[in-house]
Amino acid sequence: MREPVAIAVERLGKRFRLGPRATTDRFTERLQTACLNTVRRPWQWLRGSSRPTAPTTAHRDEYWALDDISFEVRQGEALGIVGRNGAGKSTLLKILTRITEPTRGRFGIRGRVASLLEVGTGFHPDLTGRENIYLSGAFLGMSRQEIRRRFDEIVAFAEIDAFIDTSVKRYSSGMYTRLGFAVAAHLESEVLIVDEVLAVGDAAFQKKCLGKMQDTAQQGRTVLFVSHNMLAVQTLCSRAIWLDGGSLRADDTPAAIQQTYQRATDSAAPSSHLLSASADGLVRVRSASARPIPINAALTVQSPVEIVVDYDIIDQPRRLHVCLYVFDSTGACAFCTFSEPSTHPPGHVRATCTIPGNLLNAGTYAIDVQIVEQGTTVIVGIRHAIVFDVLDADRTTSWLGTWSGAVRPACVWQVSSLDKATRT
């Protein structure tokens, strides 16, 4: 017998306007989300504000970050969601957690939802770790006693005992994520939604999170897991969907999705959708990607890595340069690099940077991309625009490297005995 449907998404769409993003009070967002999720509700469809038949073409300054997405997830299923930066993954999760409303379409979720979205969402900065745990539990409709029973487990999992009575605004991003994940995974909910948690935290903690999510799925809870780490998706999920430019491109086993997705990424056809734009809307980054050289090979410690940033200049020539900041999985900046400033006429520009082979360590790296004008003014800044994995060539089946350090250069060694060889 098939399990009942836990999440249903029907023709979901979300339209945004170009230009600077509206800033929102995250605590208010959280309150809205959490309050709506407190009670165990019967199935209920939540609709977007527009008619389902509204035309799909966007106005000049509007675009669809999610366009006509439909799928179902059954209870106890662990669904991986993959796709390039700007594909709409986080937007989908924000709709499902009711942080934002769909423009059209509808969705329904059975049961309570615990979520860990982008780092920085979810906790009240002025409250301590302890207070935030109780607050999150209360939002989920748990009694004080129930929360108390889970409290020690949460603190032990997050490994932040010494800081539990410190306000979370003093936490490092790693500590914040640890606590966020521990709370989402240990408090009682039928659905667990996690966005890209493996990009932060050290290797040991990432492994622990993956193990915990596996347990969670085995206990019959439904898991939605967004990640750029295909090996993690394959390890955890029984099924995956691939979002591309706001559309659902494929829905299959994680192994099949990895193949199709990898092939499409390797061919690196520049996409026509928008990743980010300058405040005046006249410099628009279409895509940013990393690929190994040669292109069809696995990206290992030995591979040179080509970083490609595609952007459009609208209306008039601009003097720009591109900066890349490369971070390892602990959040440490391994290095930064930038192009020479140059003036380009309006049109499509491609910046390519090659990171030499035998420099990066095995593990996950994230690259912040900036477009800088006149040498000093950052006009576009995209945090973690590119996230990719470097495999250990000797251990390609493992998703975690074992060597310490942000980089792993192939240093030249020579060891010889300085004493005269003694022969008899």
Binding to ligand ATP by residue 197, rule CB under 6 A?
Answer: no
Closer to ligand ATP by Cβ: residue 5 or 18: 18
Please identify, using beta-carbon distances, which residue of 80 and 137 lies nearer to Mg ion: 80
Site string for ligand ATP, 87-126 (x = CB under 6 A): xxxxx-----------------------------------
With contact defined as beta carbons under 8 Å apart, do 214 and 80 qualify? no
Which does residue 83 bind out of ligand ATP, Mg ion, none, counting CB within 5 to 8 angstroms by kind? ligand ATP
**Is 86 a binder of ligand ATP (CB under 6 A)?**
yes
Regarding 276 and contact with Mg ion (CB under 5 A), the answer is: no
Q: Is the separation of the CB atoms in 355 and 340 below 8 Å?
A: no
Task: Report the partner that residue 136 touches, choosing among ligand ATP, Mg ion, none (CB closer than 5 to 8 A by kind).
Answer: none
Nearer to Mg ion, 301 or 366 (CB): 366
Q: Which residue type occupies 266?
A: D
Tokens of 414: 């020579």
Q: Between 84 and 186, whose beta carbon lies closer to ligand ATP?
A: 84
How is residue 18 annotated by DSSP? S
**Tokens read off for 366:** 């994230």
Nearer to ligand ATP, 289 or 303 (CB): 289
Distances (CA, A) of 187 to 68, 184, 338: 32, 6, 44
Query: Which is closer to ligand ATP, CB of 88 or CB of 105?
Result: 88
- CA-wise closest residue to 40 among 129, 133, 104, 109: 109
* 177 contacts Mg ion (rule: CB under 5 A): no
Least gap, CB of 22 to ligand ATP (angstroms): 6
Q: What is the Cβ-side half-sphere exposure of residue 125, based on CA atoms within 13 angstroms?
A: 11
DSSP alpha helices (H): ranges in 187-318?
Answer: 203-218, 230-236, 254-267
Are the beta carbons of 127 and 38 closer than 8 angstroms? no
- What are the C-alpha distances in Å from 103 to residues 22, 226, 282? 16, 22, 26
> Binding of ligand ATP at residue 80 (CB under 6 A)?
no
Interface positions, 80-99, toward Mg ion (CB under 5 A): 90
- Closest CB to ligand ATP among residues 19, 52: 19
Residue 369 lies near ligand ATP (rule: CB under 6 A): no
In the bound state, the residue with its beta carbon closest to Mg ion is 90
Best CA proximity match to 112, nearest among 167, 29, 33: 33
Using CA atoms of 208, 210, 215, 216 in order, give the dihedral in degrees to the nearest 10.
120
Each residue 266-295 as x (binds ligand ATP by CB under 6 A) or -, in order, gives --------xxx-------------------
What minimum distance in Å lies between the beta carbon of 206 and Mg ion? 17
Q: Is 37 in the site for ligand ATP (CB under 6 A)?
A: no
Is residue 363 within the footprint of ligand ATP (CB under 6 A)?
no
Burial class (CB in 10 A: 0-12, 13-18, 19+), 59: exposed
Beta strands in 77-190 (DSSP E): 78-82, 104-109, 113-116
Query: Judged by CB under 5 A, how many residues of this single chain contact Mg ion?
Result: 1
- CB nearer ligand ATP, residue 155 or residue 233: 233
Which residues contact Mg ion by CB under 5 A? 90
Site residues (CB under 6 A) for ligand ATP? 16, 21, 65, 83, 85-91, 274-276
